[in-house]
Structures are given as structure tokens and as C-alpha cells.
Structure 1
Amino acid sequence: MKREFFDEQILDLRNQQEGEEAKSHSLSDVSIENENDLYASQVPPEERNIYTGIRIDGKWIYFERRFLWEEAISIMLPKSFHSMSLEEARIKYPSEHRPQCILTDPSGSVNLLFQQMIGTVTNEGIEDFRNQAFGMMKRINQGIKPKEQGVVEVEGKHIAYVEFSNPAMDGKLYNLMFFLEAEGIPYMGTFNCRTKGMKYWRTAAFEMVRSIEIVQNRN
């Protein structure tokens, strides 16, 4: 790995970083806007997930499979996510080395960032890669408050993650950062939202990570 480029990417990572629960899950308390809402509202709350639809702040959120990074990787994301405009990205992530892929919801407060990292890595080495990258981030940005870290396995692919909070322009953020390898190339993604929305989004964020698929034989 070219250390100077890696360090530059880590320096730039520091630039990356309400909901109200429904009081009743009965049909009489749910605003049915379409057939999807009707179907989702009939799923018991404890069984709702990104494949059935989830209810956050009184609104139904539906997901679809989207491709990332030249269609090398796919992931389930909210249908409402769209690419952040260059103007908004320049304000929120001032560095010219900001993530190549920034997707956001209509409010701009729930985001997914995704980028290719410099160097090479193996599937088995992705946890060490995460430790090195996040260790440097913590030294650079002392506002980072680590929470939990671990590895999830999806069809033999190791995805190393770390949860943390950090101060940002629009308030304190909850982050779920994850690292994976595809064809020897390291990739990093970050889901973030305001910390007060963490209790609604955390489970869905992990479900999104577990939905990741590597596209094989693209040529």
C-alpha cells in the first residue's frame, strides 16, 4: 500500500461523519398510502426488515437493490436514496478527496458513503485493514467515540465493521463503517445518521451491510 496515499485518505475520512416511534401498530393508526403500505402494516413489527419495509418517524421506508462502484458490488438501500449533488457534497465534505459515491435521503440527514481504497487486501486480511484505517482515524480526529466492532460473514465474504459517533456540521452523528474486499481491492462504506435517529436506523443499517453481494464475472 502506498502509505502517503493511504494517510491522505484517512485524513479525509474525518470529514465524513428524529424520529418518533409509532405508538400503535394497528391498521387504524397507520396512514395507508398505497398497497405496499397495506402489506407492510400487516407484518408484525418484530418481523419487519429491509425486505418487508420498515416504519421510521411515522413513514414507511422501502428498499431496493442498488449497484455501487461500477456495478462491482450491490446492496439493499432505501428507494428514496439519491446521489448527493456536487454542490451539497462540497459543503458537507469539503475535501476534494471526498468519497466517490455519496447517497442521501431527501432530508440529507441519512447517508451512505462508499469508496475504493488504495492498495490490496485479502478477504482474511480485511479485519487488520479496518484496524489500521480506524486506528489512524482516531489519532487524527479525537472527537471520534468508538462503540462496537466486529466481522460479519456473508456467503464467505468477511465484512469488518466499526460503530462510532463523532461531531459534525449538522450535529452528532452515528456511523457504521464497514470494509470489504473484492478482487483484491479494499472498499470502505459508511452509513451515518444523527445519533438521535440511531435507535431507528441501526438495525436496518446492519441489515443493509448483510445484504451486500459481490458481482462475479462482470467481464
Structure 2
Amino acid sequence: MNYMDEHIVSLKNKLNYDVASNNEITTFSQTAISDQDQSVFGGNQALRLGDELITLELRVILDGQMQVSVPKSFSLMPLEQAKFKYPSEYRPEVIYTSEDGTVNITFNRTESTLQDEELPEFVEQMADTLRAVQPIRNWLGTQVIVNHSGLSIGVIRFVAAGVDTNLYNEILLFTHAGQVMMGTFNCMESDMEVWLPVAENTVQSLHAVSLLLHPTLERGADSL
């Protein structure tokens, strides 16, 4: 497979744009949470983060093709805020953000296709691109995992320089019906240990929607 075809170049542009835009967090009103506790309650109904219990909610994303569990307090980013944060054609389709805007979870479909067995090499190609163009402060590596639903997901983890502070980033790369899809998770590096359980929950809860469920479509910035 030629990884430098038109679709892959487009995907790399989208990936780099998402990371650069996510790194422009300037809000610092993060609620203080004590030591990390990664306990999961009620079949991923909630997460305990230190002294705080975070309620989770299953959301339908990407034109009803996928579902993911995110904190119930996270909301779809408002139109004007999304246009300001992502002023480009590469704006993510789905943007969930915390109440103070310091934690973001996004999802995108791409025009690229990929066979499952090509995912590990593809992840390394994307990782090489990120290392070449992003202001990496701490490279944390890559991993291809199979989550609870059996979905193979490539995960790229690193800390990059933001406008006012360093940002922890996770890039998620996976396929559905042969189509490459991408997710991102980011928060301030200083809050990384607190929010890692939410990042892990995002990875583990991603799954394809059964056609029998006829879920209600919930979309993010793709409707902007």
C-alpha cells in the first residue's frame, strides 16, 4: 500500500491540524481533584477520579456508525467556539468538551481506506509525521490494542507545547467498514494523571453501532 497517496496526505493534514488546534487551550479553571483512582463502576456507568465520581453517558457519533462513552458533563462544542478553535475545513465532526474547555474529545471520519492488518504500520506512519511537525515535549509512544468490544485501535501518546501550557494528547486511529476514523483526547499536562481514566474509557468504550438499534444520531461540529 502507498501511504503517501492523496487520501493519506489529506489525513495527515487533518491529524496535524487537530493536534495544533487542540493545543491552543488557554483556560485554567480546572476543578481540583485528588489522587487518581481508576476504579470503574456499574459497567462503565461512572468513573471515580479521586474524591469525585464522574457519571458517564453513551453517545452516538459519526452519522450513527459508532458509540462512545464520555463524561455526562461534557457537551458538544458550540458553533462559534468550534469555528474559532478549528477555523478550517479540517474541523473535527464531533467535538466534546469539558465545562471549562480544558479537556476535549473529538472524532473524525476520513476518506482513507485501510485493511485491519495494515493498522500497525499506518499508526507508525502517522507517528513519524507527528514527530516531524509537532512541538513534542515528551514522546510517550504508540500502541495497537483490541478494546472490550473487539475493535482494534492504534493509540499515539505524547505531550506537546501549547500556547500557555503543555498539553497531553492521545490520537486514536481505527477503522469501520474499511474506512479510517480518527479520535483525539487532550488535556493540560498538569491534569494528565487525573484525566487518564477518562482517556482510557474513551478507548475501551468505542464500538460500532448495531443496525438493529436504530440509534438517535448525535453529531458534533460536522453539522456546523
- What's the TM-score bracket when you normalise by the shorter of the two chains? 0.7 to 0.9
Of 58-67 and 174-183, the range deviating more from structure 2 = 58-67
Match of 1:16 in 2: 22
Match of 1:34 in 2: none
Deviation at 1:215, TM superposition (A): 1.8
Q: 1:187 to 1:20 in 2, by over 3 A?
A: same
1:83 aligns with 2:89: no
Q: 1:118 to 1:129 in 2, by over 3 A?
A: farther
Match of 2:89 in 1: 96
| Residue pairs, 1:119-198, within 5 angstroms | 119-143=112-136, 145-154=138-147, 155-198=149-192
Cα distance in 2 between the residues matched to 1:159 and 1:104 = 22
Larger Rg: 1 or 2? 1
Cα distance in 1 between the residues matched to 2:137 and 2:208 = 30
Q: Per the alignment, in what secondary structure is the counterpart of residue 71 of structure 1?
A: coil
Instruction: List alignment gaps of at least 5 residues for structure 2.
Output: 24-29, 215-224
The CA RMSD over aligned residues, in Å, is 2.6
Find the partner of 2:103 among 103, 110, 126: 110
Match of 2:219 in 1: none
Cα distance in 2 between the residues matched to 1:168 and 1:184 = 33
Aligned residue type for 1:175: N
Aligned residue type for 2:130: M
Deviation at 1:76, TM superposition (A): 0.8
1:200 aligns with 2:194: yes
Cα distance in 2 between the residues matched to 1:22 and 1:175 = 20
Q: Deviations over 1:94-113 (max 9, x none)?
A: 33322121110111111101
Cα distance in 2 between the residues matched to 1:203 and 1:148 = 18
Deviation at 1:177, TM superposition (A): 1.3
Find the partner of 1:215 among 205, 209, 223: 209
% identical aligned pairs:
25
CA contact (8 A) 1:123 1:157 kept: no
Instruction: List alignment gaps of at least 5 residues for structure 1.
Output: 24-44
Q: 1:107 to 1:56 in 2, by over 3 A?
A: farther
Q: Which runs of 4+ in 1 moved over 4 A?
A: none
Q: Deviations over 1:133-186 (max 9, x none)?
A: 222122122335321321111343211101111122352111121111000100
Cα distance in 2 between the residues matched to 1:181 and 1:164 = 22
Cα distance in 1 between the residues matched to 2:57 and 2:154 = 23
CA contact (8 A) 2:38 2:48 kept: no
Q: Deviations over 1:63-112 (max 9, x none)?
A: 01111101101011111111111221233233332212111011111110
Residues paired across the two proteins, number: 198
Aligned residue type for 2:131: K
Higher relative contact order (CA 8 A, sep 6+): 2
Aligned residue type for 2:13: E
